[in-house]
Amino acid sequence: MKLLVTRPMTARATAALQARFEVAFRDDTPMDATEARAAMQTHDAILPTLGDDFGAAAFQGELRCKVIANFGAGTNHIDLDAARAAGIAVTNTPDVVTDATADIALMLMLMTLRRASEGERLLRDGNWIGWRPTQLLGQEMTGRRVGIVGMGRIGKAIARRCHLGFGMEVQFFNRSTVSSLDIPARQVPQLRDMLRMCDIAVLAVPGGAATRHLIGRPELEALGPEGYLVNIARGDVVDEDALIAALHDRTIAGAGLDVYAREPDVPQALLDAPNATLLPHLGTATDETRSRMGLRAMENLLAVAEGRNPPDRVA
């Protein structure tokens, strides 16, 4: 099987892929639709990731490719309907991303409530004049009310950390009924009602058309001037312009973001917001997790190569 991997992988994943496939690796630049289509015309399999454009235009013409094994759980950069129509299997890498992504959510919560980014800027800019009783007063996380939007694997892992680690009261919004939770948590039927109830809202929903701009101005107003928003899902789940306005006019107290609507472009007005903690999409950025993602993608590729149904097929 002739495989194209669209980005460099960890040493462990690279060695495993090289041992099993005729494989070529690209550099760290995303593929546009023209490059994606050309790759599918010359390779049996593609291992792409977020930022590579596998929209409908990439599936035009005669294609050699039989499987797209996405590196990541989210597949909103791949047109799944176009892939089905072209007879190309699409897989993802669930489960292995859960813990690292949940950890980054907790880190953003703590950084935002405790104003860690503001403090670091103050120190690095040489403006810290020493300890003062009222300097950069933030909010404690222990005992707060957290609201989780999307109670899948990652949402449940965040809820567990919040409850067990910080004694937080957990409520959540999910479009389908969630049962068999191993911690106390209340499902709230309406999103805005849940946002009114919580101190911190954490977004953990999949990306795509169904969740685009799920959080807009009315939802931010429901969260309120003492509420914080954390997004570790996809950038376009939030109306970014509405969020920028809400941060600057203090409609909400602050935000912690790992994802953005038009990555890697981040609006200057968002960079200028002092009450925003901003990370460069670090959700799964540990060597262990990124290696497991590569190996999980390889399992799906091997299944297709051996004529089996891939375990993580999404299209």
pLDDT for residue 247 is more than 90? yes
In angstroms, how far is CA 142 from the centroid of its own chain? 25
Residues 158 and 250 in one domain: yes
- Written as one letter, the residue type at 106 is L
d(CA 228, CA 109): 8
Residues 290 and 256 in one domain: no
Taking each helix axis from N to C terminus, what angle separates 98-113 and 153-166, rounded to the nearest 10 degrees?
Answer: 50
- Please indicate, yes or no, whether residues 59 and 208 belong to a single structural domain of this protein: no
- Tens digit of pLDDT for each residue in 154-186? 999 999 999 999 999 999 999 999 988 999 999
CA 164, 170, 173: angle at the middle one, nearest 5? Answer: 140
* Predicted TM-score (pTM) of this structure: 0.94
- The 10s digit of each residue's pLDDT in 132-150 is 999 999 999 999 999 999 9
For residue 271, what is the enclosing H or E element? helix 268-271
pLDDT of residue 180: 86
Average pLDDT over residues 32-58: 97
Catalytic member of 169, 221, 263, 299: 263
- For residue range 190-239, what is the model confidence (pLDDT) as tens digits? 999 999 999 999 999 998 899 999 999 999 999 999 999 999 999 999 99
Active-site entry in 192, 212, 217, 281: 281
Looking at the fold, whether 184 and 196 belong to one and the same domain comes out as yes
Has 281 been annotated as catalytic? Answer: yes
Residue 311 counted as domain residue:
no
The answer to whether residue 267 sits within a structural domain is: yes
91 part of a folded domain: yes
Q: DSSP 3-state assignment of 258? A: coil
Per-residue pLDDT at 115: 97
Q: Is 43 a catalytic residue?
A: no
Shared domain for 121 and 174, answered yes or no, is yes
Q: Does residue 159 lie in a domain region?
A: yes
Read off the pLDDT band of 296 (50, 70, 90): very high
Q: Both 295 and 182 in a single domain?
A: no
Do residues 273 and 206 both lie within one domain? Answer: yes
Q: How many domains does the chain have?
A: 2
**19 pairs with which residues across the strands?**
none
* Statement to judge: residues 270 and 297 lie in one domain: no
* 44/138 same-domain check: no
**Catalytic residue among 115, 234, 292, 296, which?**
234
The neighbour count for residue 205, using CB atoms within 10 Å, is 23
In a domain, 294, yes or no: yes
Are 194 and 228 contained in the same domain?
A: yes
Residues 113 and 191 in one domain: yes
* One domain for residues 260 and 186: yes
Q: Please tell me the total number of residues recorded for the chain in this structure.
A: 315
- Per-residue pLDDT tens digits for 82-110: 999 999 999 999 999 999 999 999 999 99
Domain coverage including residue 153: 98-278
Q: Is 263 a catalytic residue?
A: yes
Question: Considering the domain boundaries, does residue 310 fall inside one?
Answer: no
Q: What is the CATH number of the domain that holds 255?
A: 3.40.50.720
The mean pLDDT value of the chain amounts to 97
pLDDT tens for 57-85 read 999 999 999 999 999 999 999 999 999 99
